[in-house]
Amino acid sequence: MPSNKSVSDAPIVQFTNCRILRDHQLQREDLWVREGKILNPEKLFFDEKGSADIQLDCKDSIITPGFIDVQINGGFGVDFSLATDDFKSGIDLVSQKILSHGVTSFCPTLVTSPPSVYHQVLPQISVRNGGAHGAGILGAHLEGPFISKEKKGAHPEHCLRTFEAGAFQDLLATYGSLDCVRIVTLAPEMRRSSEVIRELTKRGICVSLGHSVANLSQAEEAVQHGATFITHLFNAMLPFHHRDPGIVGLLTSDKIPAGRRVFYGMISDGIHTNPAALRIAHRAHPKGLVLVTDAIAGMGLAPGRHTLGQQVVEIDGLNTYIAGTKTLSGSVATMDTCVRHFQEATGCSVETALEAASLHPAQLLGIEHEKGTLNYDSDADFLMLNDNLYVQATYIAGEEVWRQDASGL
């Protein structure tokens, strides 16, 4: 029976025989899609007297919202912190390749760089929808250069900057433009950081705290001024101390403004964070946990020497170090690997693990009405997974953009 064409000529696709992640539960029901959006079947039946044009048997797959990676430095030989003539083709390559990891949208991330790099690279990053060409781009994540020298991690010290002279004007001069910027990571203990946080927040840019020696009260003050995120919790910050837990203390702080939630990124690759630390964070503040890959250019490539912005890094198995040191420098983990490791390490439910890579990053960016859920009228960006949480197929706007050849589907 054809659908009611008075409402829309677009075909209606019904995904059957699946378990859908909706309202924090895997539910055995069908998924209906039209014109790139999730459709409410009751409205279709009763208001439009319509039905599906196409039915697809999902063979008992899990259907989950597409993953959103808000911290990814590159991959497959592409480094987002390097100003190259073919930067656009590099970002296109990464956005294409990460479809197989279940990532349907992401924030290309630049580590601390000279102003010239920001001035060259940022104009080449544009917010765009995903599709067969690759995952959608939500805007850039600028990690540095306004960070602590003591906790610089893999960031080059000679490029670090402060807000001493002009505060927000310094930041604007350094980056050149904030047009495509979605997240800025900075150290909140820096002088005049409060006014910078306020200005960024006013412009709808998410402020994240990281690479910092801030104590808890400095971190709380930053949140009161508008900061909502913590960059890779536990990494590049003061270790937890019972008398002053530092930024980590935000997870259980009673000084968070009413109605505000602090989110925190976790690199769940089995390298950056001990499983016990992952469990502590998750149990302390489960609704704030956002899985990030922090992937570098070497993701998807053989071990050896690669770059991270201005630095040379060496990949040894899953470990990535600044060449000649034991300083960790990003990761080579994929998002689907991080989801599986998180679920295994914490013993959390499948639903919880999947939401940490979809719903929570969407909530962090304030886009949960479009992405990160399978609610009616939201974007039809979703994945088919098997019971072991391996990606079998990736869909963006209701269209299949990647499929595992040997999945048997």
| CATH value at residue 293 | 3.20.20.140
Structure token pair of residue 381: 């960006």
pLDDT at 54 over 50: yes
Same domain, 237 and 349: yes
Look over the chain and give the mean of its residue pLDDT values, rounded to a whole number. Answer: 94
144-193 per-position pLDDT tens digit: 999 999 999 999 999 999 997 789 999 999 999 999 999 999 999 999 99
Amino acid at 401: V
pLDDT of residue 4: 45
Structure token pair of residue 255: 């000084």
Is residue 210 included in any domain, yes or no?
Answer: yes
Same domain, 57 and 75: no
Same domain, 53 and 25: yes
**Exposed e or buried b for every residue in 314-345, given b needs 16+ CB within 10 A?**
bbeeebbbbeeeeebbbbbbbbbbbbbbbbeb
- DSSP per position, 203-267: TTPEEEE-SB---HHHHHHHHHTT--EESSTTTTBPPP-SS--GGGGGGG-S-SPTT---EEEE-
Same domain, 256 and 126: yes
Same domain, 185 and 315: yes
- Taking residues 135-150, report their average pLDDT: 97
pLDDT of residue 49: 80
Higher-pLDDT residue of 264 and 316 is 264
- Report, as residue numbers or ranges, the catalytic residues: 294
Residue 187, annotated ligand binder?
Answer: no
Is residue 1 included in any domain, yes or no?
Answer: no
pLDDT at 44 over 90: no
267-312 per-position pLDDT tens digit: 999 999 999 999 999 999 999 999 999 999 999 999 999 999 999 9
Same domain, 86 and 29: no
pLDDT of residue 47: 85
**Which CATH number fits the domain that encloses residue 34?**
2.30.40.10
Residue 177, annotated ligand binder?
Answer: no
Residue 242, annotated ligand binder?
Answer: no
Residue 285, annotated ligand binder?
Answer: no
318-333 per-position pLDDT tens digit: 889 999 998 989 999 9
User: pLDDT band at 19, cuts 50/70/90?
Assistant: very high
pLDDT of residue 406: 57
Same domain, 234 and 316: yes
Same domain, 56 and 102: no
Same domain, 288 and 392: no
Same domain, 269 and 388: no
Is residue 47 included in any domain, yes or no?
Answer: yes
The structural domain count of the chain equals 2
Is residue 5 included in any domain, yes or no?
Answer: no
- Taking residues 67-92, report their average pLDDT: 96
pLDDT of residue 51: 87
Is residue 6 included in any domain, yes or no?
Answer: no
Residue 328, annotated ligand binder?
Answer: yes
Higher-pLDDT residue of 109 and 408 is 109
Same domain, 246 and 285: yes
Q: Which of 44-58, 168-182, 259-273 has the lowest mean pLDDT?
A: 44-58
pLDDT of residue 3: 43
Same domain, 139 and 47: no
pLDDT of residue 384: 98
Residue 211, annotated ligand binder?
Answer: yes
Provide the residue range defining the domain that includes 41.
13-64+373-403
**Exposed e or buried b for every residue in 1-39, given b needs 16+ CB within 10 A?**
eebeeeeeeeebbbbeebbbbbeeebeeebbbbbebbbb
Helix axis angle for 168-175 and 193-202, nearest 10°, is 60
What is the percentage of the chain residues whose pLDDT exceeds 90? 90
Residue 29, annotated ligand binder?
Answer: no
Structure token pair of residue 143: 């990690």
Gap between the Cα atoms of 376 and 370, Å rounded: 10
Is residue 2 included in any domain, yes or no?
Answer: no
pLDDT of residue 1: 42
Is residue 408 included in any domain, yes or no?
Answer: no
Residue 341, annotated ligand binder?
Answer: no
pLDDT of residue 189: 97
pLDDT of residue 405: 83
pLDDT of residue 338: 97
- Taking residues 209-214, report their average pLDDT: 98
Residue 154, annotated ligand binder?
Answer: yes
Is residue 328 included in any domain, yes or no?
Answer: yes
Residue 134, annotated ligand binder?
Answer: no
Q: Given phi > 0 = left and psi -120 to 50 = alpha, else beta, which region is 384?
A: beta
Which helix (H) or strand (E) is 32 found in, with range? strand 31-34
